């Protein structure tokens, strides 16, 4: 199971790596995050700030961008790479056929649509204008105050992974393979096919000379995402690693152990420390003196919080700390 993205020789040359976040994608993915409890160490404070400040128009967007299932492709036009104004302008210019097709798919995915969405499906100018105003209002409240951090963390992630280059043509020999092999644990590069593993993605996407945009995202969480339509410019949006603004308060290095236990609980703190040494779920269970099933549950919680990642090698699950997990374990503070 998985989505298979097929590259031709022209696609390799035309693959691009975005160097800045796309505000339209960050709007959509942050709407998803706002409606979940995922990534509490990174997003909980932001969620508390935003939830009470949205106006009715911005709140409508929550219904159009549910945290599970399909969200309309027209919410993330390719022009958004040029900034919020260009993205909203492209949104308002979406062909009526695309609007109707996307909202039909949305209805199938969610089992219903709200009555106010009918005007959008019909391409009604007032309805589209209202949608654009809602996006702008949401951005102003939820993203604008934090945009400098969003941009800085995307840049830092690109630099840390040696990805500060826009096109494959700029990469040294062999670096393209390395880029795709290390982009994300759920992406498997088996030339000339990039496979996105996951329970909700499947089928084949032939790039047909269009190349692929690789887009790092602040609000993308745990696994990459793509557009449903095969006709739109191909893009893979993948999550960056996060740095916490402040994880442990109170005691400094001498009190890290107690602070970590207070934050995570003794068992999860022990497991997080064990992950720093590397190992499989079975080995972690042995270190913590707990059952393998119990260790697997706690590891899942730590993974959901963005503190570790898991890769399967053969039949075993190997766990490593994310930068966020390492910073938490070391008691570091990052501005």
Closest listed residue to residue 27, CA positions, set 158, 220, 183, 194: 220
Predicted TM-score (pTM) of the model is 0.76
- Same domain? For 58 and 141 the reply is yes
pLDDT by residue, tens only, the chain of 335 residues = 689 999 998 998 899 889 899 999 999 999 999 999 888 878 888 999 999 899 998 899 999 999 989 999 999 999 999 999 999 999 999 999 999 999 999 999 988 888 899 999 999 999 999 999 999 999 999 999 999 889 988 888 787 766 666 666 566 656 788 888 888 888 999 999 999 987 677 899 999 999 999 999 999 988 899 999 999 999 999 998 876 543 333 333 334 455 566 667 878 888 888 888 777 888 888 878 788 888 888 888 888 778 888 877 666 788 888 877 877 777 643 32
Report yes or no on 218 lying in a domain: yes
Report yes or no on 86 lying in a domain: yes
Q: What is the predicted pLDDT for the residue at 87?
A: 97
- Same domain? For 308 and 291 the reply is yes
Q: What is the predicted pLDDT for the residue at 228?
A: 93
d(CA 16, CA 213): 5
Rg (CA), the chain: 21
What six digits make up the tokens of 221?
């969480």
Report yes or no on 268 lying in a domain: yes
Identify the H or E element spanning 326: helix 323-330
What six digits make up the tokens of 126?
């007032």
- Same domain? For 309 and 239 the reply is no
Of 195, 215, 244, the residue that ends a domain is: 244
Q: What is the predicted pLDDT for the residue at 329?
A: 76
What is the extent of the structural domain holding 305? 252-330
Question: How many structural domains is the chain composed of?
Answer: 2
Of 220, 244, 268, the residue that ends a domain is: 244
- Same domain? For 161 and 17 the reply is yes
Of 217, 244, 271, the residue that ends a domain is: 244
- Same domain? For 161 and 275 the reply is no
- Same domain? For 200 and 292 the reply is no
Q: What is the CATH number of the domain that holds 260?
A: 1.10.10.10
Whether residue 326 contacts residue 319, with contact meaning beta carbons closer than 8 Å, is answered with no
- Same domain? For 76 and 153 the reply is yes
Report yes or no on 116 lying in a domain: yes
- Same domain? For 121 and 192 the reply is yes
Tell me how far the alpha carbon of residue 318 is from its chain's centroid.
22
Closest listed residue to residue 327, CA positions, set 277, 239, 260: 260
d(CA 84, CA 259): 41
- Same domain? For 197 and 266 the reply is no
- Same domain? For 73 and 140 the reply is yes
- Same domain? For 217 and 261 the reply is no
Report yes or no on 79 lying in a domain: yes
Whether residue 67 contacts residue 36, with contact meaning beta carbons closer than 8 Å, is answered with yes
- Same domain? For 322 and 181 the reply is no
d(CA 124, CA 171): 46
Report yes or no on 335 lying in a domain: no
């Amino acid at each position: 199971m998985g989505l298979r993205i097929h590259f031709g020789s022209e696609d390799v040359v035309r693959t691009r790596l975005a160097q800045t976040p796309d505000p339209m994608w960050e709007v959509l993915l942050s709407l998803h995050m706002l409606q979940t409890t995922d990534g509490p160490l990174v997003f909980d404070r932001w969620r508390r700030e935003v939830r009470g400040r949205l106006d009715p128009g911005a709140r409508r967007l929550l219904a159009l961008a549910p945290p599970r299932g399909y969200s309309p492709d027209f919410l993330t036009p390719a022009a958004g790479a040029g900034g919020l104004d260009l993205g909203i302008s492209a949104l308002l210019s979406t062909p009526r056929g695309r609007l109707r097709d996307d909202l039909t798919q949305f209805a199938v995915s969610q089992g219903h649509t709200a009555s106010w969405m009918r005007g959008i499906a019909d391409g009604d100018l007032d309805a589209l204008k209202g949608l654009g105003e809602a996006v702008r209002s949401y951005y102003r409240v939820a993203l604008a105050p934090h945009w400098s951090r969003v941009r800085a963390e995307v840049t830092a992630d690109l630099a840390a992974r040696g990805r500060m280059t826009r096109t494959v043509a700029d990469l040294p020999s062999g670096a393209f393979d390395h880029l795709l092999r290390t982009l994300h644990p759920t992406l498997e590069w088996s030339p000339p096919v990039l496979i996105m593993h996951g329970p909700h993605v499947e089928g084949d996407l032939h790039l047909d000379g269009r190349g692929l945009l690789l887009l790092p995202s602040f609000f993308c969480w745990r696994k990459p995402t793509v557009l449903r339509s095969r006709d739109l410019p191909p893009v893979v949006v993948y999550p960056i690693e996060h740095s916490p603004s402040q994880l442990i308060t109170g005691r400094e290095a001498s009190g890290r152990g107690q602070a970590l236990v207070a934050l995570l609980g003794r068992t999860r703190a022990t497991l997080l420390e064990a992950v720093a040494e590397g190992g499989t779920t079975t080995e972690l269970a042995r270190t913590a003196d707990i059952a393998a099933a119990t260790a697997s549950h706690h590891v899942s919680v730590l993974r959901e919080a963005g503190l570790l990642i898991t890769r399967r090698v053969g039949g075993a699950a190997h766990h490593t700390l994310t930068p966020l997990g390492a910073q938490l374990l070391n008691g570091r503070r990052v501005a």
